[in-house]
Amino acid sequence: MKRDSTIDKKVYLDAVLSQTPRLLGLINGNPASKSYGCCDRQYWHSNCVAFPNARHQEAVLTLALLYLNFDTPYRSSPLLQRLINAGVSFWCSIQERNGSFNEWYPHEGSYVATAFSAYAISETLLLMGADRIADYDRAVAALSRAAGWIKDRTEQRVCNQQTGALLATYNTYLLTGDDRLMAAVNGYEDALARAQKREEWFLEYSGADIGYLSLSIDYLAKYFKKTGSRKTEEIVAHAINFIVNFIHADGSSGGVYGSRHTEYLIPDGFEIFAPISEQARFAAWNIRAGLERGRGISLHQLDDRYLTYISYTFLQAALDGMDEIDETPIARADYRYYPEAGLFVRRFGDLELIANVHMTGALVCIARGKRLADSGVVIDGARQLFSGYETGATTVSVDENGFSVEGPFRETRENILSPIKQIILYLFQLTAGRVSFANHLVKERLRRRMILSHRRAPATLKRTVAIDGGGILITDEIAGTGRFKRMITGTQISFIYVPSSRWFQRENLTDEPPVLVQPVDVPPGDGNILIERHFPSGKITITRRPAH
């Protein structure tokens, strides 16, 4: 007899089927069109962009899985077979001469677009076979060129992309038998083993990130399933051991304390490891529970872009997963601190607090049915300043009762693309940008501007968070503000460029409202501004303290 806490893996298939009509609508099904098989609707239909994003072609793997599996109207559908073939052929047609593919702008040479789209196309070929793919030989040749391009490059700052390269290259080896590719695969595996931190996470630009770590687990688990590699099994086991500490009691995960603010969990890696890992079963059950109960982030919340990227892993989870999983409680420490990641974890009765001291105390706290997601403090003055970047914070103290941390504010900038910026970028890419060296310089500059580099400001924040009964007391001491129009704190704020973040989830309905502080709210004087807040009671006091 099925217990209330037992959840069937069918929830994954149901999640995909609810969005399959939307997915199919993103694909150009006109055989007379020059872009037949393009999965980027913004390009082939809306004419909003001047080139197709190769990553959208990952949708063909979702179609292949639906075509070959499950008792649905999509199984063995002639329409799906035509669209799969068209999608594979279109992917081949947009490859750059050097073997790479583009995501954001022409002649970009995107590592992630090349690796991830090559995985999806190679997996499609392995599943469908040469008899069902008209351009099979052409696609295999394109995959060989892509794997050759990837082999000469690395992405050590964003390790999830390296895991995609590992699996794409291995699949290409299976299709070609080229031993040079297997040598590259072994090199990727060794590099990932070295890249994994002692605290069991992978670097995502400036620190640990929960959503992207789940993506790394997903690709590595797929590789383990294909090869049985003991080295990869150990890497994945460590990563799962880390990530389960950041699945929240309300069904959400990750968020403002992660280096890239992601809040989703990719399911297939946990499902592959569920039979051999209690921690993986815990994660898998929570993902299933989220789908069944409308918690966390699922496919229906994703924009069209990420629907094409992520849907197939839900179908793979429906194939790889145990038929049913019971709720699997695991022993999670009431208190954990990861000094290198800067992550502070405290569970105390009904209280759950996770914070990043490297981000000057950005935190998520759940207590008494309420949820606080606090990225830090914004100061609107002559310039806009923000405390929540992962740069320059100094930990004053950390123990099971809370923490104290001090760090500088940084100038913020919202990178909105203007027509003139786009024209300049396209002109460069169509001329000097074709040269590999110049292309690399532009890409690095864009990364620094949009993700990594933020000018230091003279203002500082000292944040102290103390466990206080069934809640927390947050004390923010702000120095060097100068004249300001307002301050904002106590809410989710993000200025870094991460497309796979900032989606709505039901848990946001219980988020605490932002705290707005105007000059009139601050007592007169010259001392530091002190904002004391208690969560979940909502009590707020604003005072001044003499500067040290």
Q: What is the pLDDT of residue 105?
A: 81
Look-up of token digits 């129009």:
485
DSSP labels for 280-349? HHHHHHHHHHHHHHT-S--GGGS-HHHHHHHHHHHHHHHHHS-SEE--------SEEEETTTTEEEEEET
pLDDT of residue 416: 65
What is the mean pLDDT, run by run of 10 residues, along the chain of 548 residues? 77 98 97 97 90 96 98 98 98 96 88 97 98 98 97 82 96 97 96 96 93 97 98 98 96 93 96 97 96 91 93 98 94 95 95 96 94 95 89 84 95 71 61 59 56 75 93 96 92 80 79 90 91 95 86
pLDDT of residue 238: 98
User: Burial level of 7, CB count in 10 A (0-12/13-18/19+)?
Assistant: buried
Backbone torsions φ then ψ of 386, nearest 5 degrees: -140, 140
Q: How far apart are CA 140 and CA 118, in angstroms?
A: 10
CB atoms inside a 10 Å sphere around CB 486 = 13
| pLDDT value at residue 1 | 35
Q: Which two tokens stand for residue 356?
A: 């990043």
318: tokens are 């429906």
Query: Any idea of the CA torsion for 520, 522, 528, 529, to the nearest 10 degrees?
Result: -110
In order of their start, the domains of the chain are: 7-325 (1.50.10.10), 350-413+454-545 (no CATH)
